[in-house]
Structure 1
């Protein structure tokens, strides 16, 4: 059975996109799933957060045809990772003039076998690299911080997904919106969550990701929060999210 390929996207930085990719992936792995993480962000925060600082090869070499994707994969605590790098900026520029420029990642992922889920950490912009991810994926997960400004970008993301579905990938769908950095002490958090439920048709995961210091600490130790502190709220929240994730079709 082919892997379910999921793009984790939000064009605004600092919204928990990389955190969600790592920890949802780790939680799925704890549930017995075989998971591959694709670090498509030129900032390579996902790779760094899992202790991959000097990889032998990265996605930049794969995009340029110098390496096979399968030769670049690294294992971290049961997760497999395709590392990113700053050179992806140059790769994106070079893709602009290429034929079928939006299909490169799709072709690359065809050589990967044996995974249940492939999670793609997309750049914090609706760029050509993000377009590659959306074309290669069947599902989209949108981490959403409970701030007013994030609502402005949500409509743009949903419109982009709809356009990709109409033109390049009819199988693409929004799996759901993940409420992250939730603070029940703030009235605004509840107000925005209520607004989403009343005005957004897409699925909103019941499992919220609460503010938790362990989520911020874990990358310093090159681990997911589930490996860093399995008893923390962050670990429990992402494990709950993973269970809900696999339970919905």
Structure 2
């Protein structure tokens, strides 16, 4: 079971959108997947079309991590019904629901025992090929929990000055965290999101990112899509949304998912510094 954190220390770069796109690709590929919505805003939970019942959200399970059974409290994504209508055989896409309650752990002074709460929950889990953790845009307790529980960290960035600088800071933080807490943790790569090929600024920043991060910068990049908000607002998988632009976006996430699940794509290299 691969556990991948989707992270960025800068908000607004489309981290949750990337999580949803990868979840859509995993569903289309028939990979049994769990999405852990660790962001207190719980946007991934909303976008995955979850209809909660009596199940506990992830925050409540973290509080009682020694006793709580994650498998008893996951909720099927609403996307699954659409996949079955398209003839997919018993697809699995479950959600550990997000909630504001998890925010009590999103503080910088979280102790080592608390940092392992998510690891404890996941240690009793089976039946999934992939776990995607949607992290909040900070390096406080919840992101540290996610990184501790993960095999790899996937970073999301926009081709813009502040986002590129934020990605560099995140890579440095990841190296320090790995050295101190998680020696087996690797960088899955960096996804450039909301790319406009016609923008000279974006072309320049992508070249800069390639120089800074080398082959950690994944291909393909994700193009800016005008109807992405509409797709998410309808709580639909991009693979089940009509239209050519959605089809192209689905193909992009299929390629990124293949890269992510390829055992040869694990990247543990230190990022390259910019050439002066």
Q: Equivalent residue of 2:219, what SS?
A: coil
Partner deviation per Cα, 1:103-149 (whole Å, 9 max, x = no partner): 11111111110111111000011110000001111101111111111
Q: 1:31 to 1:225 in 2, by over 3 A?
A: same
1:238 is matched with 253
1:45 is matched with 43
* d(CA) in 2 for partners of 1:229, 1:39: 26
* d(CA) in 2 for partners of 1:177, 1:99: 27
| Runs of 5+ consecutive residues of structure 1 not aligned to the other structure | none
Size of the aligned set, in residue pairs, is 246
Q: Given the two structures, how large is their TM-score scaled by the length of structure 1?
A: 0.92
Query: Contact conserved, 1:214 with 1:225, CA < 8 A, in 2?
Result: no
Query: Contact conserved, 2:3 with 2:131, CA < 8 A, in 1?
Result: yes
Query: Contact conserved, 2:68 with 2:121, CA < 8 A, in 1?
Result: no
Q: 1:201 to 1:62 in 2, by over 3 A?
A: same
Q: 1:99 to 1:191 in 2, by over 3 A?
A: closer
Q: Equivalent residue of 1:90, what SS?
A: helix
* d(CA) in 2 for partners of 1:127, 1:224: 30
| Runs of 5+ consecutive residues of structure 2 not aligned to the other structure | 81-91, 267-276
Q: Given the two structures, how large is their TM-score scaled by the length of structure 2?
A: 0.83
Q: Equivalent residue of 1:200, what SS?
A: helix
* d(CA) in 2 for partners of 1:136, 1:49: 24
1:22-101 to structure 2, matched below 5 A, reads: 22-52=20-50, 54-56=52-54, 57-65=56-64, 67-76=68-77, 77=80, 78-92=92-106, 96=109, 100-101=113-114
4+ residue runs of structure 1 moved beyond 6 angstroms? Answer: none
* d(CA) in 2 for partners of 1:100, 1:207: 39
Q: Equivalent residue of 1:87, what SS?
A: helix
Query: Contact conserved, 2:26 with 2:33, CA < 8 A, in 1?
Result: yes
Matched, 1:217 2:215: no
Q: 1:109 to 1:230 in 2, by over 3 A?
A: farther
CA positional deviation for 1:170: 0.6
